[in-house]
Amino acid sequence: MNLVQPFPRTLNFTIALFILLIVVSPLGFVADAQRRGTRGRNQTRRGNDAPLRAGIDVDPLQTSRSNAEIRRMLAEIDRRNIERIVRRLVAFGTRNTLSAQDNPTRGIGAARDYLYSEFTQIAQSSRGRLTVEKQTFEQPAAPPPQGRVPRPTMITNVVATLRGSQPASADRVYVVSGHYDSMCTSPTDAECDAPGANDDASGTAAVVEMARVMSKREFEATVIFMAVAGEEQGLLGATYFAEQAKQRGMNIEAMFTNDIVGNTVGGNGVQDRRTVRVFSEGVPSNETTQEAATRRSVGGENDSSARQLARFIKDVGERYVPEARVQIIYRRDRYGRGGDHIPFLERGFAAVRFTEPNEDYRHQHQNVRTENGIAYGDLPQFVDYGYIATVARINAAALASLALAPARPKGVSIVTGQLTNDTEIRWTANTEPDLAGYEIVWRETSAPLWTNSRAVGNVTSFTMRGMSKDNYFFGVRSVDRQGNRSPVSYPRPVSRTAR
């Protein structure tokens, strides 16, 4: 007796049709990809070493291949080190910028020397890669109510520099900072206890821990880890560093500040251990009158270099730290507040601020006390050290990806001057030796993030056929032979004859 029944004819036909679709469909997809790949036209070829296949659409959100060494580095970030640093800074009683500079156990001077010692110990294990210095200057008196410096005051930034290993890239600099000064209710009270556990021992500890794990490794570009003072007096330490950098012509491609990154329970009762806010301005702080007129004409208010940096951080951070959420905030900073990224923005450097999602103002800028059963003051028991470690990992992943990638394209422009439904984009050739080529990215004008990307090879111009510059925002990013991608550069309009 045959237990295997023959298939009905209709079922045989269905199976045959299914097999035919499996075989034929991939060919159709390939043909469609080839058709889409011929829509662009590349021009002005630069060199023959171009692993990127021109005209091929790629993942728009992938800024680099997953790097196993970056993952190992992030795993080394230790919440216990972060807690140790926070509690040691709190133990100095106050770190008000106006407090004692020569007391070994209390005040801003003791905190300064401690941080210098921490960075120096890290440098000793870096095989010469990390160097440490104190950047000291005298801040002139600016007494209240106009200022917060009643008398001339010496201010010191502690700066640790991890020099880039590739000569063509070493002058490209990325800065990450936290401020180590603190305040109680009055910014000019140099005697009150101002523990400053969250504001901003949290950010400072994150920066020191990043220096520890990153200095064990080499990066093509330079990374500066910085603990600044004078923030509560008016961003004084950061302003001095940024101004000196501008005067010296330092090529700062990006600056991160970490300020208030330690609390996961807000004053609103919301607990969130997953989210970190990244504040990034839209209209550049240093925009000229002519640049403003151009922006009003063709858009770009959502495409400053700070916005491109924030998009890069979100992509990299969420890929390497998948348990985290990077929330881009379309503001320079919070209402009525400011941070150390602002002096960098004002001098034309791309800069963003990392901050916890829900602040508790009972634990910021408060005299330590208990009222009606409520504890006030920025004390270490209100800090989540595991959360700081998560924020540090997001920072470190982004910094490492930036310092391993080529520089973002310069001189990016969209050619105007004639009416056409094609979009021609030009840029200046990157001379770094490991450059593979470039990608064009684009999105609809209402989209917050880049949604499409196309590899165009090692060229300095490309025409997007059938895609009107009126209907999309475009950008360009660099790619090296290891697949590391730079942040996007947004184009400015130029006439056809301009180069």
Three-class secondary structure of residue 178 per DSSP:
strand
Tell me what pLDDT residue 417 has. Answer: 84
Paired with 438 in beta bridges are 457, 478
Tell me what pLDDT residue 229 has. Answer: 98
How distant is the alpha carbon of residue 44 from its chain centre? 32
Whole-Å CA distances, 17 to 14, 22, 31, 335: 5, 9, 21, 63
pLDDT tens track, the chain, 499 positions: 333 333 344 444 444 444 444 433 443 333 333 333 334 444 443 333 334 555 666 665 555 556 999 999 999 999 999 999 999 999 999 999 999 999 999 999 999 999 999 999 999 999 999 999 999 999 999 999 999 999 999 999 999 999 999 999 999 999 999 999 999 999 999 999 999 999 999 999 999 999 999 999 999 999 999 999 999 999 999 999 999 999 999 999 999 999 999 999 999 999 999 999 999 999 999 999 999 999 999 999 999 999 999 999 999 999 999 999 999 999 999 999 999 999 999 999 999 999 999 999 999 999 999 999 999 999 999 999 999 999 999 999 999 999 999 999 999 999 998 899 999 999 999 999 999 999 999 999 999 999 999 999 999 999 999 999 999 999 999 999 999 999 999 999 998 665 5
**Residue range 68-404 in CATH 3.40.50.11540:** no
Tell me what pLDDT residue 495 has. Answer: 80
For the entire predicted model, the pTM comes to: 0.88
* Burial of residue 23 (number of CB atoms within 10 Å: 0-12, 13-18, 19+): exposed
Tell me what pLDDT residue 9 has. Answer: 42
Tell me what pLDDT residue 59 has. Answer: 61
Helix (H) or strand (E) holding 58: strand 56-58
Domain 37-64+409-495 identical in fold to domain 68-404: no
Tokens describing residue 416: 């105007």
Q: Where are the domains of the chain?
A: 37-64+409-495, 68-404
Fold annotation for 37-64+409-495: Immunoglobulin-like (2.60.40)
CB atoms within 10 A of CB 466: 10
